[in-house]
Structure 1
Amino acid sequence: MDVIRLLGIRDTPLSVDEVLTSVGDREAGGTTLFVGTVRDHDHGRSVTDLSYSAHPTAERELRRVAEKVAADFPLRALSAVHRVGDLRVGDIAVIVAVASAHRAEAFEASRRLIDDLKREVPIWKQQVFADGSSEWVGACE
C-alpha cells in the first residue's frame, strides 16, 4: 500500500471531502486535516485579491516533500493539494491530511508536511492590497 494517496497542484477548487476520504484507513487511530484559506488581510493590510502561481517543477517538489515526510513518520496515509490561479477571500488554497496509528505522529507529520510544502515547493502568491499596491510572496522564503 502506498502511503501517499493524493498529491496535486490544481487550478480548480479544492475539496476537503476528497482529501479527507483519500487518507481514510481502518488502521489509523488519528487523522489530521489542515485547510489553508485566503484571508482578508496580511501584516495589518487589507487584501482584496490574491493569485497563486507554480513553477513547472512544483508537483515534483511536492512529491519529494511528501516522500520525505512519509519516510520520517510511521504513517498510514498522506495527501496534499494546493490551488493555483485567482482566488477570493475565503477560498481554500491548500489542504493537507495525514493518517497514522496514533494522534501524536499524525499531528507532527501534518505540521511538518504543511511547513515543508510552504518552504520548499515553488509556489508563489501575489497579493493585491486595498490601497492598490501589491506584493509577491514566495513559498521558498
Structure 2
Amino acid sequence: MGTEIRVQQDDFSVADEYQQLAQESSCGAVVTFAGLVRELAEGQLDAMTLEHYPGMTEQVLADLVAQARGRWQLGQVTLIHRVGRLALNDQIVFVGVAAPHRKAAFEAAMFIMDFLKTQAPFWKQEHTTDGSYWVAAKDTDQAAATAWQDD
C-alpha cells in the first residue's frame, strides 16, 4: 500500500497508471479519474497555464491522500497533476485509487479530487481569444469539499 504523488509538465498514460494500480492482489477495485482541459462556456479557450508552489504542493497532495487513508481502507494511490502550458483536451490531473472494495475506491477518489480543487496550491491562468486571466476559486468546488465534513 503506497502513495505516488507527481507534479509534472509531462503528460501521463492512464493505461500505464491503471496497470500499476491493478498490480495489488489485495485490492478488488481500481477507480481512476483523469481531468482534461475543457472549452469555456464564456469564450474560446486557446490554452491554460497552471502554476504551483513547489514542495508545498506535493505536501498538500500527500496530506489529502493521508486524510483519505484515514477514512477508507485503501491500497495504492496515485495522484498526478500537470503544470505548465496545456492545450484544449490535454490531461491535467489523474487520481487513481486501489481498494479492497469499490465503494471505498470511488469515495476516496472523489474526496481527493474535491479537496485538491480547494486546498492544493495551484493557480490557473486561462488564455482565450479575448485575453488572459487568472481563474478565481469557485463556490461549487468549496461546496463539494464542505459536503465531506458532514460525513
**Normalised TM-score (structure 1):** 0.88
Q: How does 1:1-141 map to 2 (within 5 A)?
A: 2-4=1-3, 6-24=4-22, 25-41=24-40, 43-56=41-54, 57-137=56-136
Contact 1:125–1:138 under 8 Å retained in 2:
no
Structure 1 pair 123–138 and aligned structure 2 pair: CA distance change class (3 A): farther
Compute the displacement of 1:133 (Å): 4.4
Residue 135 of structure 1: how far off its partner (Å): 2.9
TM-score between both structures, scaled by the size of structure 2: 0.82
In the alignment, structure 1 segments of 5+ residues that lack a partner are none
- Residue deviations 1:91-139 (CA, integer Å, cap 9, x gap): 1000001111111111111100111111111011100122224233459
SS of residue in 2 equivalent to 1:27: coil
Among all aligned residue pairs of Structure 1 and Structure 2, give the percentage whose two residues are the same amino acid: 27
1:29 deviates by: 1.3
Match of 2:149 in 1: none
> How many matched pairs?
138
CA RMSD of aligned residues (A): 1.9
| Ranges in structure 2 where 5+ consecutive residues have no aligned partner | 143-151
Which one has the bigger strand percentage? Answer: 1
Shift of 1:14: 2.0
After superposing on structure 2, the runs of 4+ consecutive aligned residues of structure 1 that deviate more than 2 Å are: 43-46, 132-141
Cα contact 1:32–1:98 (8 A) shared by 2? yes
**Residues in 2 aligned to 1:133 and 1:53: alpha-carbon distance in whole angstroms:** 14
SS in 2 for 1:76: coil
Instruction: Kindly provide the amino acid, as one letter, of the partner of residue 2 in structure 2.
Output: V
Paired residues of 2:125 and 2:132 also in contact (CA < 8 A): no
For 2:16 and 2:122, how far apart are their aligned partners in 1?
22
User: In the alignment, what sits opposite 2:146?
Assistant: none
**Could you tell me how far apart the structure 2 residues matched to 1:14 and 1:51 are?**
17
1:49-89 deviation per Cα after TM superposition (whole angstroms, max 9, x unaligned)? 10000012111111111111122111112110000000000
Q: Alpha carbons of 1:125 and 1:66: their partners in 2 closer, same or farther (altered >3 Å)? A: same
